[in-house]
Structure formats: C-alpha cells, structure tokens
Amino acid sequence: MSARWPDLSHRRAPAEGEALTSIAVALAERGVVRVPGRRPDPAAAWHEALQVAAAARGLDPICAGLPDLEVVGEFTVPPPGVVQRDFQALHFDFGVPLLAGAPVAVSRFTALYLDPQCAGSGAATRIVPLRPLLAQRLWPDRAALAQRLCRDAGDSAAVEGILARIIEAADESCDLPDRHAEGFLCGMEFSALPDERAYFARHGLQLAAAEQEIVLSPGELLLFDNLTAAHGRRGRRNTGELHQLCIGFGSLELSCQATLLDRILASFAASGSPDAVLAGESSP
C-alpha cells in the first residue's frame, strides 16, 4: 500500500478517540454512517474514512480470516465530458463475488466526500440496506441462492454488481435486458428510476420502504458497507463534485470470497424464511 495511506492492519487500534469509535460502531451496526462535521479536502476525508473503516472491521468477526484492508479504488465523479443520466441503478461497488475461482478485488467499504470547492448539485445518494428490503418476502435457502447466483460465473462474470441482477438470479427470472446484447452496458438495466422501482415491485419488494436518500453538503463524508447495503443516485452531479474511496481487498482468494458471499446471502435469510433462525444465530 502507498505510504500516503495509514496502516489498516487489524492488529493495531486504528481509530483514536470516542467520536471515531462511535462512528465505527454505527457503521458496523447499521451499514451506513454520515460522519458529523466538515473536512477541508479529500486527504483529510480519506484519513478519517480509513480510520473508521479499520475500526469497523475490528468489530466484525467475519474479518478474522480475511486479509488486511487496503485502498482498492479512488475516483472523482463525474469526470469532465461524461453524459449523465438523472439516476443510477442500485449496485455494489466492485460487485459481489460469484466464486468463479480466480482472485477478485472486493470493496468492503465505500467513502463518499463532497468537494467543498465545487457547487453542490443537490443530487441524492440512494442507500438501500439489504435486510429491511429483503425481509419483505420469503426466499429460497442460502444454498439454493448461492447456486442460482453463481450458476453463470466464469472468467467474464466473476462478480455481479447490480442489485436487480441478484434478485433476478434469486428468482430464476429473465426479465432484465440481455447483458450480452450488442451495445449493452452494465448499469443500463433501467431507463429511469420509476422503471427500477417497478421492477422491484414485480418481485415483491417496495424500495420506498427501505431506501434512504442522503444529500451531502460540501465537505461532508458518508461511509457505507457494500456487504450490507446497495447504493445508487437520484439527480445529476456537477463535474468533479464527488470524491469516492473504495476500501477492501485487492486480490481476494476463493475461500475468502465465499465468506463474503455468505454474509450477503444472510440478508436474504433474514426475511423470515426457514433459514432465518440459523442466520440470526450465526451472523452478526
């Protein structure tokens, strides 16, 4: 890891002070936290985000057998000249591992920071915690879900990033556009936000009952857990207004991928299906 980033090893106490600790607890328990205060620049925001992520990792027993956290991506969005749509489909940064065999990069936590030097657009970050969404209906057991989700895994499909595609696999349906069609791009499953909401409603899921919209102010920092929450956008951002840091694992081996996939599938089990009792006993 570059020397510009603090040490994220779980062997040291990364967060100092009660304030950072309480923020890390909130992130670990709720999967999303809006950090109080303002930061003057991305460097200050990332320093705090990395400390919180490392502390949240230390509170999660699932991390015991995983590698140390590292920065797996840093972006400024939208870049100049990019034509935006007025919404972004719900997704997971870097995607959910499909156990294709080869090591993959996984973003465990994402930090978003609104640049204080740019005029804020007012665009909202959409956050959908998985458990309250998926608890709206029953699902097959975890083994069946894993088999369905990973059925088409391969070199060209090592991860799945779009939440609607995961629901499609869970229900063994074929009601989304063909991803192999000429010219199709990931994230273009829906032409508008009402289309996405209608899709989920057809699958027994009301997004409005679980979705949160967060409009950041200049200098504000938001963190969320890609294992427990999907995210998207409503509105269009001004060029370069949002900074994004992805914190996770740069090259995760198959056994560790399976551990993370099981954590995600546990959110389906929380729906009250026959597997829910076991999920509640084994999953934090």
Would you give the DSSP letter of residue 227? Answer: T
Residue 30 pLDDT more than 50?
Answer: yes
Q: Chain-centre distance of CA 174, in angstroms?
A: 24
Rounded percentage of the chain residues whose pLDDT exceeds 90:
77
Q: What are phi and psi of 156, to 5 degrees?
A: -95, 0
Residue type, 30: R
Give ∠ CA 132-134-135 in degrees, rounded to 5. 65
pLDDT tens digit sequence for 33-71? 999 999 999 999 999 999 999 999 999 998 888 999 999
Pick the CATH number of 18-282 from 2.60.40, 3.30.70, 3.60.130, 3.90.550: 3.60.130
Cis previous bond, 97, omega within 30: no
pTM of the model: 0.89
Domain ranges for the chain: 18-282
**Separation CA 112–CA 90 (nearest Å):** 16
**Contact assessment for residue 284 and residue 151, using Cβ atoms and an 8 Å cutoff:** no
